[in-house]
Amino acid sequence: MKKISGGFSIFNAKHERFGGHNQNLAKKLNLDYLMVDFGFRKFEYDHYWYEGQHHVLSLGLFRIMWGGKPFKDKEE
């Protein structure tokens, strides 16, 4: 886990220097990243495609962000 602006990055496999736990969690969950951000937001869900799938779930005081390319696509 790494502190980011306004929240925490649970894991981010895009950054090799963050350590092996990032890659292990990412492979098990088939995601590139998982982050939790804090702040005042409206309740909503957003999904978009930009070099992989990205999801944002806003729940008032915090939001959860996850996504990226599945690892099977990266191997090709």
In this prediction, residue 28 carries a pLDDT of: 79
Residue numbers of the chain with a pLDDT score lower than 50: 73-76
Question: What residue spans define the domains of the chain?
Answer: 2-75
The 3-state secondary structure of the chain, one letter per residue: CEEECCEEEEEECCCHHHCHHHHHHHHHHCCCEEEEEECCCCCEEEEEECCCEEEEEECCCEEEEEEECCHHHHHC
Closest by alpha carbon to 58, among 3, 6, 13, 23? 6
Tens-place pLDDT, residues 27-47: 777 888 888 999 888 899 999
In this prediction, residue 76 carries a pLDDT of: 42
What are the phi and psi torsion angles at 51 (to 5°)? 50, 45
Q: Look up the pTM and report it.
A: 0.70
